[in-house]
Structure 1
């Protein structure tokens, strides 16, 4: 298949709205004020659940299962193997070396979205785990609720972002205090920020039955964060490859 066409017909992963005070870059957008209040001040009622995770800083990638075949993708939804960037070629090679793990998790039409931390973007890492960190299991634009996501990932034993809070709303200040400067994934520069996942226990239409769905996702990026600071086309220096425990790379 050619990268001249998006494999899924959509981007592998879209843009997440920024919370108030978050450092925004070109093309970024703010989240709705109501979403910000639910995530960081007060949930609507007992049917809301807020999950806050460390935001990782690498290349946004995905792995889709289409017609029984695995396809490693860039964020835009193109084949990683046809990218102009070495980090994407190496991601594609790694996925196929780990294909049994992905096949054990994915159902037809689904994709695992995550952060590829092999190359330093704006944060350097000394990783104690492999460079792929899975943060979403998606079918089209639908996200899998977090508890189900973790359960589904078990056969592949994938690393996921550190959860620092689950339950009520959590302020930005408190989230950053819990993450401290370097977070939980081996960052050796100040971490980028945090992600808030707000889920809703909605009625299904069947009397007395509800199910959790992902309502929305928002993020906070710390002031002073420079996107892609270590990437060669910005730094004018050679690429920096993060340390990880995956000898095959």
Structure 2
């Protein structure tokens, strides 16, 4: 008998997404880890050679979720890999319902055994957004548990019309101060509070293909995780998006 969410099965047999190490100088929590200085320098100071390529994206502040294709079924998952429908959290339940509504879009993108990972922005965690697009922003596409390169991700998600994070930079290494300075006011996703930070993707040419070497992130020093969540404030939840807040036509791309 299932007695808690921890007792529910993981359809993928694993977590849907792991943790991303921080760059030096990033704000960290007790369970967070830093990227090694050598690897951080590749991302922020100097590439190893012409085969390296860096993509820097706006870091969004919501809940990490996934949608996986199992055969011809699409299942909504939390980051830990468990079914979102089983979560007592209202935002996760909304994610499950949203995935069910947009199943055909996910089927257009995903092959059996793949899963799309992104930020679910319905509930304000530490940043409020005046969203002008749907509340799901896709940032990784997993194939056999491996990240696909950024170019493949952005090409594939077009079939479903999904949003991806705003791009700050593509090309060589980019330091933290420059990356944050390049963010427009409110970021690319209309944050009403300070943008949380940025994510670096280091990719490398491998023969005729490209592999993702690593992801790393910077979170601004004054960021407080979950500062707007009701369990931390004692006040009602703040919603960036809810089904009743917008007419159905605005939910679709």
Q: TM-score, normalised by structure 2?
A: 0.92
Which shifted more, 34-43 or 235-244? 235-244
**Hey, what's the Cα distance between the residues in 2 that align with 1:19 and 1:181?**
23
Paired position in structure 1 for 2:13: 9
Pair 1:227-2:225 in alignment: yes
- 1:89 maps to which residue? 93
The reply to whether residue 217 of structure 1 matches residue 215 of structure 2 is: yes
- Contact 1:115–1:135 at 8 Å: present in 2 too? yes
Q: CA deviation at 1:67?
A: 2.2
Residue of structure 2 equivalent to 1:129:
133
Alignment correspondent of 1:170: 174
| 8 Å Cα contact 2:123-2:241 kept in structure 1 | no
Residue of structure 2 in register with 1:23 after alignment = 27
Distance 1:247 1:112 in 2: 26
Deviations 1:160-198 (A, max 9, x none): 000110000000000000014521101000010000000
Deviations 1:192-224 (A, max 9, x none): 000000000013xxxxxx211101000000011
- Contact 1:49/1:198 (CA < 8 Å) preserved in 2? yes
Q: Quote the Cα distance in structure 2 between the aligned partners of 1:246 and 1:216.
A: 37
Structure-to-structure mapping, 1:1-249, within 5 angstroms:
4-203=8-207, 210-243=208-241, 247-248=247-248
Aligned counterparts of 1:99 and 1:200: Cα–Cα separation in 2:
33
1 CA distance for matches of 2:27 and 2:41?
A: 18
Compute the RMSD of aligned alpha carbons.
Answer: 1.4
CA distance in 2, matches of 1:66, 1:218: 29
Q: 1:139 Cα deviation (Å)? A: 2.2
When normalised by structure 1's length, the TM-score is 0.94
Once the two structures are TM-superposed, the CA of residue 34 in structure 1 deviates from its matched residue by 1.7
In structure 2, C-alpha distance between the alignment counterparts of 1:119 and 1:99, rounded to whole Å: 21
- For 1:74 and 1:247, the matched residues in 2 are separated by 26
